[in-house]
Structure 1
Amino acid sequence: MSLSKVFDAEVLALPLFDDSHRALADEMARWCEERAEAWTGLDTTDPAATGRAMLTELGQSGWLRHLDPGQDDSDVRSLCLRRQALAYHEDLADFTYSIQELTAAAIIRHGSDEQRSRYLPGLADGTSAGALAVSEPGAGSDLAAVALEATPHGDGFVLNGTKTWIAQGDIADVCVVLARTGDGPGPLGLTTFLVDCATPGFKAEPIGAIAPRSWAELTFTDCRVGPEAVLGERGQGLVVALDVLERARTTVAAAAIGFARRAFGLARDHARTRKAYGGRLADLQLVKSSLAGMDVKLAASSLLTARAAWAMDAGLDHAKHSSTAKLYSTEAAGEIVDGAVQILGAAGLVSGSVMERLYRQIRSLRIYEGSSEVIEMTIADAL
């Protein structure tokens, strides 16, 4: 497959990227293309089993090796390139990769040496699945409202409560759990824990989603963990959670670009070959306008995301940039996918088609890692 079908070659040529990034983009695009036919036949009726298989494939192919404490960590630009290529080809591949990265990032950035050596090798080779458990029935974007209790017991804690809408929760071997230890009011009373999912009192129940994904509700009933389970400092759980989610926002933008670029390519190819009104669909002025608008949105998304990832890698102030990239790219991707369905007409409404899958998959990105409305408030506060 041509690199330009997955990535904007002109954006990759900018000084925001170096030769190693361009080589990675080429390698990732080729690897995904080699698996494209097999991924077309994935069984999405059991997303948990498919997620496990996808995790094994990613691990064995080395795309998670940088999570191992013995390897060099990946920069954010590389994470974005991987997510864009995976999202372009297969949602479940991107979904599995992103959650593994999210879990590992919490441990890499806030874990002790013992925690890193215990959990990261399995996450890196795909033999262990991770999950980030922060959302609850009454606490989504407002993480300060988390109510799951972690009551001190001896030198450890006892967890009681529920987490919901947890990605990979039904296949996870280890969960990063945000819980209330009561060290202070609101956000000051939260602590993050690393919980082995084989711990007595832990239960996961799958939840169906509009796009087939491994998703679950987690129940903690007198779930005992030791002092070694505390991730970061006690009472600093919200800091850990927000740090990881903010870092991930730029990669969500990259995934949105992957989905949108796939939809744009399908719409453009259809318009070029579909005969209409004595010519081609692509000859109609309104269709030209729609395609041009999509192209502009893709270019803007790519540049905003590249800027945010570069700023993060350079150690610069990036919070506003990552929020801007996430907000614009996910909203634009929704518009591009919807516009692509419109150009395809009835052909875009076929059950099981690529367009149907894209239409389902793209919607969640405007909610993950901060809803668009929350991100807008974050940007406004930075003005």
Structure 2
Amino acid sequence: MTIDVSNEGELPFELEMLRDTVRHFVRSEVAPVEAKLSLDQAKLDPDQQAALQARARELGLWALATPKRLGGAGLDVLAQTIVAEEAAKCRLGAFFPAAGAIGGDPPSVLFHGTAEQFETYGRPIVEGRMPKAFTAISEASGGSDPARAIQLRAERDGDYYVLNGTKTWITHADRAHWGVVYARTGEPGRRDGISCFIVEIGTPGFTRSRIPVMIANSPNELHFDNARVPVANRIGEEGGGFALADDFLTRGRITYGAGPLGIAEEALRLTIEWAKERRVFGGLLAEKQGPQWMLADCRLALDAARLLIHRAARKVDRGEPARAEAAMAKWSATEAAFKTLDTCIQLFGGMGVSCELPLERWFRELRIKRLGEGATEIQRMIVARSLFS
């Protein structure tokens, strides 16, 4: 009996070419710019970023998730994971792929909106005329359980909705011109009681405040005090917001996990090079069984995580349900990446926590990645539920 596994562990030639293009771009054009940054700089200055973004557009590395009909590259999820992994292999890569050079995608929920909504809000991002928009789901009452936790209210008042409440842990809100906000328009605790809105920065009654955290890319808390949002800014039907969010969360968890995987691969490469040169106890670190086994464990965990990411991506690209597979992909990748960084720092010793190397920054940022897009425990719950459904 012949079983067709459709080369699940291999990449088509086109994706290998895409991977090599991103890898070369990061190494030859992004890394030299990053090398000129001072150790306390969290991101590139606007001129540096604009130059790299222009080069990324020339290479076709722009608006990758945006459908071709809307002016984007229209890459499938598997291709997006290839880009995400390679684009993260730089000092700023955890939250700024290729140091912020690769972008151009509005929140994917906008693809389900009207043509007018996309032209007004999405087109400027795709064309590089506007920075990335934010997505606001999480609240202090429980960011990992939005169906029940969302308390931000949106009450219909003629041609407007009036929003009252707070969102927290929202990234990119400090730089965005607008974002999508999920608010409750129906009964508490119901999935069909959540709607999605486009909210512009500067809307009266809408304010932002920075939340200091352990990394430089601080999130924001968003406050809504009788903020009036036009009905025309609602995406989809009233009460249909959670279904839209569930779709983008599934896709997003897959690509989200690929970034940490790329960082861990780069850290592993640096550590292996170090181990080949570092002499301890009469020999090279690379010759000692303890470090060898530590690095072998990392190799196993990262390879396994990549297979799970690619499996989940292929299922989505085939149009198959993949909620549990996406959860396993995000869970395995962020945990494996964090443990790999911990191992690499341990083997580097004092140099591992020096700001001269990117390891300490990556370690802090990967700790955040274990929480983003649903904490590891939430991913476990999703997988467990799938076993009994």
TM over 0.5: yes
Match of 1:187 in 2: 191
> Counterpart of 1:225 in 2: which secondary structure?
strand
- Range with greater deviation from structure 2 (42-51 or 72-81): 42-51
- In the alignment, what sits opposite 2:19? 25
State the one-letter code of the partner of 2:120: R
2:33 alignment partner, one of 38, 46, 67? 38
Is 2:135 aligned against 1:132?
A: yes
Aligned to 1:371: 375
Computed over aligned residues only, the root mean square deviation of the Cα atoms, in angstroms, reads 2.4
The match for 2:77 is 76
CA 1:154 to 1:96, structure 2 compared with 1: closer, same or farther past 3 Å? farther
Q: Which one is further off, 300-309 or 336-345?
A: 300-309
CA drift of 1:41 comes to 3.6
Name segments (4+ residues, structure 1) moved above 6 Å: 97-100
Map of 1:65 onto structure 2: 63
Deviations for 1:188-242, whole angstroms, at most 9, x for unmatched residues? 3211101111322222222222122152111122211111111121112222222
**Cα distance per residue 1:122-159 (max 9 Å; x no partner):** 22133222000111122310112111111111121111
Whichever residue aligns with residue 25 of structure 1, its letter is R
Q: Establish whether residue 263 from structure 1 lines up as the match of residue 267 from structure 2.
A: yes
Within a 5 Å distance, the mapping from 1:1-383 to structure 2 comes to: 16-33=10-27, 34-42=29-37, 47=42, 54=49, 57-58=52-53, 61-62=56-57, 63-66=61-64, 67=66, 69-89=70-90, 90-91=92-93, 92-94=95-97, 101=105, 103-108=106-111, 110-128=112-130, 129-143=132-146, 144-182=148-186, 185-383=189-387
Aligned equivalents of 1:56 and 1:217: distance in 2? 31
Distance 1:15 1:330, change over 3 A: closer
1:43–1:50: 8 Å Cα contact kept in structure 2? no
> How far did 1:99 drift?
8.4
Distance verdict in 2 for CA 1:210–1:81, change over 3 Å: same
Q: CA deviation at 1:361?
A: 1.2
Residues 86-144 of structure 1, C-alpha deviation per residue, up to 9 Å, x if partnerless? 2111324228589864x421111x21222122222222133222000111122310112
Using structure 1 for the length normalisation, give the TM-score. Answer: 0.89
CA shift in 2, pair 1:183/1:115, >3 Å: farther
Report the secondary structure of 1:61's partner residue: helix
Where 2:363 maps in the other structure, the secondary structure is helix
Opposite residue 174 of structure 1, the aligned amino acid is W
1:59 to partner: Cα distance: 6.0
Which segment is superposed worse, 38-47 or 139-148? 38-47
Find the residue that maps to 1:370 and give its secondary structure. Answer: coil
Counting matched residue pairs gives 369
Going from structure 1 to structure 2, the CA distance change for 1:150 and 1:55 (only over 3 Å counts) comes to farther
Cα distance between partner residues in 2 of 1:216 and 1:156: 25
Q: Which has the higher helix share?
A: 1
* Alignment match, 1:10: none
The Cα shift of 1:360 comes to: 0.8
Q: Percent of counterpart pairs with the same letter? A: 30
The change in CA–CA distance for 1:177 and 1:48 in structure 2 (over 3 A counts) is farther
Aligned mates of 1:49, 1:280 — CA distance in 2:
37
